[in-house]
Chain A
Amino acid sequence: MSVVEIANLTKRYGSVLAVNDVTLSLEQDIIHGLLGRNGAGKTTLMQLLTGQDFASSGSISVFGAPPVENARVLQNICFIKESQKYPEDFRAKHVFTNAPLFFENWDSAFAEQLVAEFRLPLNRRIKKLSRGQLSSLGVIVGLASRAPLTFFDEPYLGLDAVARQLFYDRLLEDFAEHPRTVILSTHLIDEVQNLLQHVIVIDEGRILVDSDAEELRGSATTVAGTARAVDAFTLGRTVLSRQGLGALAQATLSRLSDEDRAAAAAAGLDITPVSLQQLVVSLSETAQAASAHSGTSAQLGTSTTSTQREK
């Protein structure tokens, strides 16, 4: 069952198309990764989904209704923003006394446990918190609110490696106990890739990838060897990216069958898997090249989407 349905959604800021004709649905009780470069449109998309901004055109349905000024929809949403603003003179403890008023499923005991684990100083004024502590505060609210639809927009700016690992562990544990729909927007793809069930990659306001995470894993392979062998092997296949170094080359290709792998090995090529992060980088680069080539981003969307579907 889908929690979010958007169709032909566009958001225009002056001449900039922040979200460009996006059609997408988000399934219930799944952890989604929303990935893409800076300025790709991730935050705008989340603002539209949480009713914090108006669409220029297209439709949005969240829990079956448009989210803008819709209390029934919004009370089921928690949106943890990269730069959440709090009232002047608010201390962290005030956030935790107010949160239960907004979130029906708020778990105070869980929040307390997280405050201790993240070592968040409750009595300090929020404007005196470090960047990492501010991020901890957001992460704790996002987890303890247990909202049926939770957005984390780059939740861990300034968080150290230990705190990030703590966030991933608690998210997985709590998600297992209390399944809900999570949208995690991030640049740290390597770190979160194993948490995700569904991956959405956005670039220049358009959806590049909308795929099951497991299908995406293993959907690309890098072959490396002499330039001649690489080029002979890649002839007639979809090449996502290619680098050369003198007589050597490596190319990233979409999914290879067992026979393809055997053929590549027989041709003396080294075959290595491509991580989700490398794949996203390759796809974004391919999209950029295609857009520079064709001159219109409209064609780019359809061509890359069809490449995705071929696999």
Chain B
Amino acid sequence: MIEDGRPIFVQIAEQIENDIIDGSLPEEGQVPSTNEFAAFHRINPATAGRGVNVLVENGTLYKKRGIGMFVSPGARERLLAARRDMFEKQYLRPLIAEAAKLGITRDQIAKLLQKDEV
């Protein structure tokens, strides 16, 4: 779950974002506590807290004093927009590079995509 070579707090923030995007953390829903994240992922609580704080600072989550963290209204739409912007760079470019390495033409990629659409 936690990968090597990348800061853990970044991965925690991404996982929370993914949960918001796929709807398992609904807007206005409560997010698990820092200590719950730490115990679940077996990571240092301060590191888990740092991941949560990234999302509080950029407005994805908000704090209710004495209660906990909640998903901000409109967070899902904002995250989706940001992820769509990243899609080309993160997924399409590497795919095209790998295809080029293997001698797969763009036409062939297009055909594969259509075949997969069933």
Contact of B44 among A169, A177, A197, A265 (CB under 8 A): A197
Instruction: State the CA gap A273–B50 with chains docked (Å).
Output: 21
If the complex has contacts A169-B39, A173-B39, A266-B97, are A196 and B5 also in contact, measured as CB distance less than 8 A? no
Instruction: State the CA gap A197–B46 with chains docked (Å).
Output: 8
Contacts of B44 in A (CB 8 A): 31, 172, 175, 194-197, 213
**A30 within 8 A of partner (CB):** yes
Contacts of A268 in B (CB 8 A): 101
Contact of A197 among B3, B6, B47 (CB under 8 A): B47
Contact of B8 among A172, A175, A194, A273 (CB under 8 A): A194
Q: For B101, give the chain A residue with the smallest CB separation.
A: A268
**A235 within 8 A of partner (CB):** no
CB contact list, B35-72 vs A, under 8 A: 35, 38-39, 41-47, 50
Count residues of B near A (Cβ-Cβ below 8 Å): 23
A214 touches B50 (CB 8 A): yes
Q: How many A-B residue pairs have CB under 8 A?
A: 67
CB contact list, A232-276 vs B, under 8 A: 265-266, 268, 272-276
Contacts of B2 in A (CB 8 A): 194
**B4 within 8 A of partner (CB):** yes
A273 touches B97 (CB 8 A): no
Q: For A29, give the chain B residue with the smallest CB separation.
A: B46
**A116 within 8 A of partner (CB):** no
**What is the distance, in angstroms, from A263's C-beta to the closest C-beta of chain B?**
12
If the complex has contacts A265-B97, A268-B101, are A194 and B43 also in contact, measured as CB distance less than 8 A? yes
- Of the candidates B3, B6, B43, B45, the one having the most CB atoms from chain A within 10 angstroms of its own CB is B45
Q: For A222, give the chain B residue with the smallest CB separation.
A: B5
Instruction: State the CA gap A110–B1 with chains docked (Å).
Output: 30
Contacts of A16 in B (CB 8 A): none
A214 touches B9 (CB 8 A): yes
B46 touches A172 (CB 8 A): no
**A132 within 8 A of partner (CB):** no
**A109 within 8 A of partner (CB):** no
Instruction: State the CA gap A173–B44 with chains docked (Å).
Output: 9
Could you give, for residues 117-144 of chain A, a 1 whenever the CB lies within 8 Å of some chain B CB and a 0 otherwise? 0000000000000000000000000000
Contacts of B97 in A (CB 8 A): 265-266
**A51 within 8 A of partner (CB):** no
If the complex has contacts A172-B38, A176-B35, A176-B38, are A195 and B43 also in contact, measured as CB distance less than 8 A? yes
Could you give, for residues 7-45 of chain B, a 1 whenever the CB lies within 8 Å of some chain A CB and a 0 otherwise? 111000000000000000000000000110011011111
Instruction: State the CA gap A30–B49 with chains docked (Å).
Output: 13
CB contact list, A276-292 vs B, under 8 A: 276
Q: List 9 A-B contacts (CB under 8 A).
A: A172-B44, A194-B41, A194-B42, A194-B44, A196-B44, A214-B9, A221-B5, A274-B4, A275-B4
Given contacts A194-B8, A194-B43, A197-B46, 14 further A-B contacts (CB under 8 A): A169-B39, A169-B42, A172-B45, A176-B35, A176-B38, A194-B41, A194-B42, A194-B47, A196-B44, A214-B47, A214-B50, A217-B6, A221-B5, A265-B97
Instruction: List residues of B whose CB falls within 8 A of some A CB.
Output: 2-9, 34-35, 38-39, 41-47, 50, 94, 97, 101
Instruction: List residues of A whose CB falls within 8 A of some B CB.
Output: 30-31, 168-169, 172-173, 175-177, 194-197, 213-215, 217-218, 220-221, 265-266, 268, 272-276
